[in-house]
Amino acid sequence: MYSLAFGIGTQNANGDWLEVYFPAPIFRPDESTLKAIASIVNYNGGNADIILDDQLLGRLADAPLDEGQRGNLKLMVGSRRPCVLTLLESDSKPASTPEVYLKLHLLSHRFVKPNEQNLDDLYALLPNVAWTEIGAVDLAEVTSMQLRARTEGRVLEVAAVDKFPKMTNYVIPSGVRIAHSARVRLGAYLGEGTTVMHEGFVNFNAGAMGPNMIEGRVSQGVTVGSGSDLGGSASTAGTLSGGGNITITIGKDCLISANAGTGIPLGDRCTIEAGLYITPGTVVQVMDEDKNFFKLVKARELAGQGDMLFIRNSQNGVVECRSNRKAISLNNALHAHN
């Protein structure tokens, strides 16, 4: 069994799921826990969503679960919102909105890291909804709810229209600071000691391993190693919107300076100077630590290597990579005739 969770969510007037909150997912439950749950809900295996009525909730609350889970189940009895048990026996492509939400929760609860789950075609299962102070509202229903609120002398605040909610309405990881909660989506991974400043952004299926200072953008699929810093307005190339298939990773103790960015993976202890964006096709003059010329290469040839300092020569505009010569390994066959 991959994971399971008891959740409470929102459906529209047609009974379609808009979102699901899973307060305490159980990752890789032991056999006795799974057996106890399965016998109550008549679960026979596979990935499944099982609607829980008050009778099932009551029986589950008496099952041999930990006190936290039993307490959550007791609170759910009598809920005016639909309750669901989602079980994932395998990490196959999501087949329902609750499945997607459970996988996003697993990321933000730090049970899995970015790119460790199958999230294929998740957009088709995430409805675009209005996120309000009363939760998710179907876009076809929002106008009538706004009108009803006005007749009651109040305004229905719509904070966003999006497929993803902000993480802090679902998960608040331990040991983190988030200056502007709307800039961290559910499904972000924030390791212990991470700070996301006001202009920082962390997408779903992306994350900082912690501790990190994030003042720039961590795009979908990108991971930032411990001790690394993304300066103000710095960015990392993701795999969405034509961003390519290369997964960008930033190693430990790196600095992507203000307004800089990278479209290639970086190893440990790398620095990119302010305002410089390194793309795979950027022509880079590789220098050793004494500024002696080494090679002229495309940046993709340096991908994943450590101890690199990328700067732009202010006199001639050439992008330079300065490093200990032993720290860089190039494809000699590719450059044998340079």
The residues carrying an active-site annotation are 215
Smallest Cα–Cα separation from 318: which of 282, 264, 294? 282
Host H or E run for residue 56:
helix 54-61
Phi first, then psi, for residue 250 (nearest 5°) are: -115, 125
CB contact set of 227 (below 8 Å; sequence gap of 6+): 211, 212, 252, 253, 254
* Integer Cα distance of 137 and 128 in angstroms: 9
* Integer Cα distance of 280 and 166 in angstroms: 32
CB contact at 8 A, 231 and 204? no
Helix and strand numbers, DSSP H then E, in the chain: 5, 27
Using CB atoms within 10 A of its CB, is residue 313 exposed (0-12), middle (13-18) or buried (19+)?
A: exposed
